[in-house]
Amino acid sequence: MNTPLQTPICDVLGCDVPIVLAGMGGVARSDLVAAVSSAGGFGLLGMVRESPELITAEIARVRGLCEREFGVSLIPAATPPELFTAELAACIAARVSAVALFWDLSYEAIARLRDASILVLCQVGSTEEAHAAVRAGAQIIIAQGAEAGGHVRGSTALRTLLAEMAPQLRVPLLAAGGIVDGQGVAEVLGLGAQGAVIGTAFLATEESFAHDYHKQRIITASAGAPLRTRAFHVNWPPDAEVRVLPNSVTEGRRGDPFSGHRTVIGAEGARSIWLFSTDSPLRDMTGDFEAMALYAGEGVGGITAIAPAAERLRSICAEAEQHLAMVRNDGAQAVADKDADAVPASQLCYARQADDLYAGFATREEILVFLNELLEAERAGARITARTALDAKDESLAGLMQEIRHDEARWCAMLLTWITQLNGTASPRIGDFYGKCLAIADLYARARFINRGQGWVVRRLKEMLPRIRDDGLHADLTAMLLGHDENIRRSEMMLATTPSEGAGN
Ligand SMILES: Cc1cc2nc3c(=O)[nH]c(=O)nc-3n(C[C@H](O)[C@H](O)[C@H](O)COP(=O)(O)O)c2cc1C
């Protein structure tokens, strides 16, 4: 997909547009995740408190429905410890590419996921919490503003949170809370987020697992309707607040939520749904939906119809692109106005350019062509290693491919950042290397071919590095060179002890 919306996080996650489906418990099941990821976004399966069997089955189902990347969302604090350990094991065994965690910070979970080369996202509600998550090993932070639907971690509005966090964090930042349209996406990108996490707007889609009662309440709700309450607390840590639409519970007509008295108001198969629990109405439930938690974010007034998820994603992206183009045009006009008033370009500047040419340094244009060439190659590398990790039965081959995939994605993000910094246009292409690799059915032979591709990157970097003047870019490309050297060495070691053909499949 050729889109100006691309940000470095797209390559880290393996998606085309920086729109992430929030891992809504119960609601974000395989159909919705597959629809969002197929359309170019990144889906998160909402698997809080689900059995490892369901998690495994849902992951397999998404993979049967689409070939794109997706992740799983879990909540340690809301899950009995034994079940949580089994959930993690299911994600690791299925080699999902990413896991998003929320509410409490589990150092142990993050370490287990990182050891398995799974990308860790943490959703937080404050800057202090973001720093703690990064220290614990989170690789992507989701800043959740107080506008969010569902459980709300903090009390700070999203825009304030982003303005505070973006300059301080060194890991990619995503924004969640009240975003339902392209203007919202463009705004958070302007405030330093690399993408948006969207819940409520995807709840009201054809593929979401929410019950139609909940979807109808969302599309008919007025803008100011959602409120925060602690009334829905059964099966969650105490004092957790949720943002919901008003109903008989929030209006106090169902008695005192904290009296200790328990009433069954519905069922999901053999499971009872209790009054004041955090369960929201789902497709497979029966019961008194009006009294359940009707989660909704503050952007609810902007959602007036139930649409296919891909259509919703595309319209949000198209609108965001329009907004960004407007901002860019305004910026370009301002620069042109300034230039018209300015004295002719400084002689110093010309002297430096002439100096650079004389010393053999690459021009900005040459550097941009080079960075885009690498970007396409690394993207191909990230895709093919992800695919090979999934296909491999040999654990050591799968693990190695997964680790290389993360490195390749990291380099993509670095290259895209530099291309943007140099005011260039990032190529949306994936190098031909991907197709060539995919045609190699034997996975060990493919891994050898991937190593040759890594060798090509090393050669190109060695050729170009002496011509890079900028210290920062030089340091980043050197790190990329060393990283590739190291991965080539590790692959060679592993491949030296494996059969030449056939056994990796
Ligand atoms: C129905 C619903 C269920 C949610 N469940 C979860 C969950 O299980 N895990 C999680 O990390 N966040 C959950 N959230 C919060 C989202 O991650 C995200 O912060 C929120 O949806 C963003 O706000 P928005 O709904 O206004 O887009 C849920 C949100 C909703 C609306």
> Nearest C-alpha to atom 13 of ligand 1 is from which residue?
24
Ligand 1 contact via 102 beta carbon (within 6 Å)? yes
Structure-token match 């999934």, residue found? 390
pLDDT tens-digit series, residues 293-326? 999 999 999 999 999 999 999 999 999 999 998 8
DSSP β-ladder status, 264-268 and 271-274: antiparallel
CA of 241 from ligand 1 middle (Å) equals 12
CB-CB contact of 249 with 259 (8 Å): no
DSSP β-ladder status, 285-287 and 264-268: antiparallel
State both tokens at 28: 């974000």
DSSP β-ladder status, 140-144 and 119-124: parallel
Selection from 122, 171, 118 nearest residue 386 by Cα: 118
Q: How many CB atoms lie within 10 A of CB 213?
A: 15
Residue 27 CA: which ligand 1 atom is closest? 1
Cα–Cα distance measured from residue 374 to residue 368, given in angstroms and rounded to the nearest whole number: 10
Q: Following DSSP, what letter does each residue of 84-128 receive, concatenated?
A: HHHHHHHHHHTT-SEEEEESS--HHHHHHHHHTT-EEEEEESSHH
> Nearest C-alpha to atom 5 of ligand 1 is from which residue?
24
Q: Judging by beta carbons within 10 Å of its beta carbon (0-12, 13-18, 19+), is residue 485 exposed, middle or buried?
A: middle
CA of 448 from ligand 1 middle (Å) equals 42
pLDDT for 328 equals: 72
Can you give 149-193 as a three-state secondary structure string?
A: CEEECCCCCHHHHHHHHCCCCCCCEEEECCCCCHHHHHHHHHCCC
Cα–Cα distance measured from residue 161 to residue 3, given in angstroms and rounded to the nearest whole number: 27
CA of 47 from ligand 1 middle (Å) equals 12
Residue 100 CA: which ligand 1 atom is closest? 11
**CATH class for the domain made up of 1-247+259-342:** alpha beta
State both tokens at 487: 């991965």
326 φ, ψ (degrees, to nearest 5) = -65, -45
Beta pairing partners, 150: 243
pLDDT for 473 equals: 96
Do 1-247+259-342 and 343-496 agree at the fold level?
no
pLDDT for 229 equals: 98
pLDDT for 1 equals: 46
Helix (H) / strand (E) element for 244: namely strand 241-244
pLDDT for 170 equals: 86
State both tokens at 357: 């040419």
**Is residue 405 helix, strand or coil?**
helix
Residue 147 CA: which ligand 1 atom is closest? 26
Structure-token match 């829905």, residue found? 232
pLDDT for 497 equals: 83
Structure-token match 């799968």, residue found? 398
Selection from 245, 120, 247, 243 nearest residue 176 by Cα: 243
Q: List, for the chain, all residue ranges whose pLDDT scores fall below the cut of 50.
A: 1-2, 345, 504
DSSP β-ladder status, 195-198 and 19-21: parallel
Question: Which 8-state DSSP code applies to residue 256?
Answer: -
Selection from 463, 438, 462, 458 nearest residue 449 by Cα: 438
Ligand 1 contact via 504 beta carbon (within 6 Å)? no
pLDDT for 142 equals: 98
**CATH class for the domain made up of 343-496:** mainly alpha
**Is residue 274 helix, strand or coil?**
strand
pLDDT tens-digit series, residues 121-142? 999 999 999 999 999 999 999 9
State both tokens at 344: 């002719």
Amino acid at 258: F
pLDDT for 384 equals: 93
pTM here is 0.87
CA of 32 from ligand 1 middle (Å) equals 14
Ligand 1 contact via 196 beta carbon (within 6 Å)? no
Q: How many CB atoms lie within 10 A of CB 273?
A: 22
Domain map of the chain by residue range?
1-247+259-342, 343-496
Ligand 1 contact via 454 beta carbon (within 6 Å)? no
